[in-house]
Chains A and B, each alone.
Chain A
Amino acid sequence: MTLRLAAILISGALVLAGCAGAPNDNMRNTGSDNTGVYQQDSPEFFVHQVGDRVHFAVDQSTLSAEAMSILDAQAAWLGQNGEFSALIEGHADEQGTREYNLALGARRAAAAKDYLVSKGVAGGRLRTISYGKERPIEICSTEDCWSRNRRAVTVVSAGSS
C-alpha cells in the first residue's frame, strides 16, 4: 500500500516537473518525451493528451464548462482503458487556512469524482484525497499562480486503486 502510493506520487512529481511553466505543445519538443507521441493507453497520454486536471474559482468546488469537457474526456479514456484506476487529488491555493483548505480540496476531488461517475466510470475505480494547500505546483503569490493551484488532478495507474 505505502510502496505503491509512493510510486504514484513520484511519477506524478516527474510529470509535474516536466510541465512546470511550459505549455504542453512546447514541452513535447523537449526532454525525453521528445517524440510527442504517447501510447494511447499510457498514463502519459492521459496527462498530456486527455488532460489530467481541472481548475476552480476561489473558494469554489463547482465545475466550469471547461472543467466538465476535460472530465468528459477523462471519463471516455477511463472507459476505453478499463485496467486503469484513478486517485483524484484535490488542492487549494495558499489563500486559506489549513484545515478549511483540506476540506475544500476534499470537496473539489469529490466534485470531479462525482462527475466521472455520472459519466459512467465505476466509483470503485476512483479514490479521492485532499492535499489542501500542502502541494502547490505554482509558487508565486498572485492570482495567476493561485488559479493553477486550485485544482483537482486525476492520477491514473494500472490496477485497482
Chain B
Amino acid sequence: MRPLALFQTLAIAAFATGLPGILPAQSTGPLRIEITEGVIEPMPFAVPAFVAEDSGARALVEDITAVVVADLVGSGIFREIPRNAHISGISNFDSPVQFSDWKAVNAQALITGAVSLKANGQIAVKFRLFDVFAQAPLGEGLQFAGQRDDWRRMAHKVADAVYSRLTGESGYFDSRVVFVSETGPKDARRKRLAIMDYDGANVRNLTDDNAIVLAPRFSPDGQSVLYTSYETGMPRVFQLDLATMRRHAFDEQPGMTFAPRYSPDGRTVLMSLSEDGNTDIYSADLAGGSRVRLTSAPSIETAPSYAPDGRQIVFESDRGGSQQLYIMPAGGGEARRISFGAGRYGTPVWSPRGDLIAFTKIYNGRFHIGVMRIDGSEERLLTASFLDEAPTWSPNGRVLMFFRETRGVNGAPSLYSVDITGRNLKRVPTPGYASDPSWSGLLR
C-alpha cells in the first residue's frame, strides 16, 4: 500500500438549481433506514451513470458507478432500482432533478455523480444524494480528488458517505483487509500474507510463501501489520511496515510468540508467549520493547484483544477446564469469565463500538461465529459450518469477516462476511484459498 495523498473533501457550492414543486413538510423526518435490528426490507435507491465531465473521464464513469452500487447493494440494506427501469438519466450534474421520474420507479434515494480528469492526472469524483419523496438533497454535495489509480477508493468514499447519511452510522467500504493467502494440498499448504480492498479487489501479496505465516493484524492507523511467521524456524511475532515493506521480528526472546494484537493507540502490542509448554499473555511497548507479563497460570492464555478504550483485554483461557472467554484489566490482574454456554469459545475480538465481543464457538463438532455483550449476555450465533473461525470487525462494527474451511481431503478455507444481525452471509471473493482476515479501520 503506497501512502496516499489525503483526499480533498470539498463541499460543492450550495445546491443552486431550482427545485421543482414545493418541499413537503418535515413531519416524516429525513430519509433514514434503521439498521439496529437488521433490515428485512432494503431501501430502494437509483444511481444513474455518473456524468463524464470530460473525455478523459469517460472510461471511468461506468466502473465508478458500478463500485458505488456494489458497495451499497452488498451491505444488504439497500436495493438498486436497475438502470433499465429508469425513466430519465442525468446528463448534467447541476441540472435540476426530475423527482417525479425517480418516484415513479419507486426509488427512495437518488445518487447523482460526475467524474472529471484534471490536467495533473488526478481525477475528481463528486456526488449528490437526494431524498426522492421529500424532493430534497440529503446533505451537501461532496467531491473527492485523488490519483486516477485510486478511482475505486473514491467510489468507496461516495458509497460510505451515502451509507452514513442514510443510516446515521459511519460506513466501512473504504477499507482494506490483510489475510493469509493459501495454496497447495491440505497436508502441504503454503501460506503468505496478502492485502486487498474490503471487497476483494486489488489483491497484492505481502510476503513470499517460504515459511508459514499466520493471523495478521492491522495497526490502528493501517500502516503496519503484526503477524506470526515461522521464518526463523520458531513461531515468532513480526511487524511489517506496509509503506517500506520492511519487516522485523518483534521480540527476540526465546520461546514461541504468536497471537499479536495492537492496542487502540498503536503503542502497545499484546501477544502470547509459550515457554515449556505453558502459554501466557504479555504486553510489549512498541517503542521501548519492554515486556510485561499479564497472566501467569499453568493454563493456556491466548488470543488477546483490547477494548476500544484500551482499558480492558478480552482473551481465551482453559483455566476452568475448557477453552472459554475472560476479561481482565489492561495491566493484568483478576479476570472474569464471560462465556458460559455449552461448548468451547475462542478468538474473542472486541467490537470497535465497545459493546460486543465476537468469537468462534465450537459445539457438537460444529463451528460458529457469534457475538455476545461484554458481560456475556445475549449470545447470538450468526453462522454454522464444519469450520468457521477468526471473526474480524468492519470499521463501523456492523459486519464481521471470518474464514470458513470446508471438510475432507480437499478441505480449504475462504473468506466470508456476515452482518451482526446474522443476515447477509456472503463469500468475499479471493483469487485462491484465504484465511485469517484482519479488517482495517476506515482509510483516510
Contacts and interface: CB of A to CB of B under 8 A. Distances in A.
Contacts of B407: 141
B304 to A, nearest CB: 9
B235 interface: yes
Interface in B213-250: 214-215, 231-235
Contacts of A5: 233
A129 B235 contact: yes
B214 A97 contact: no
B316 A100 contact: yes
A53 B153 CA distance: 52
A2 interface: yes
B214 A100 contact: no
A134 interface: yes
A100 B344 CA distance: 11
Nearest to B365: A95
B362 A110 contact: no
B405 A110 contact: no
A1 interface: yes
A51 interface: no
A111 B318 CA distance: 17
B256 A102 contact: yes
Given A97-B346, A98-B214, A104 B186 contact: no
B189 A111 contact: no
A107 B411 contact: no
Interface in A1-20: 1-2, 5, 13
A100 B365 contact: no
Interface string B45-76: 00000000000000000000000000000000
Contacts of A107: 277-279, 300
Contact of A128 (B212, B277, B347, B436): B277
Interface of B: 185-189, 212, 214-215, 231-235, 256, 258-259, 272, 274, 276-279, 300, 302-303, 316, 318, 322-323, 346-347, 360, 362, 365, 386-387, 389-390, 405, 407-409, 411, 436
26 contacts: A1-B232, A13-B188, A61-B277, A94-B405, A95-B365, A95-B387, A99-B259, A99-B272, A102-B214, A106-B256, A106-B274, A106-B279, A107-B277, A107-B300, A108-B277, A109-B277, A110-B277, A110-B278, A111-B277, A129-B233, A129-B256, A130-B235, A134-B189, A134-B214, A139-B411, A140-B408
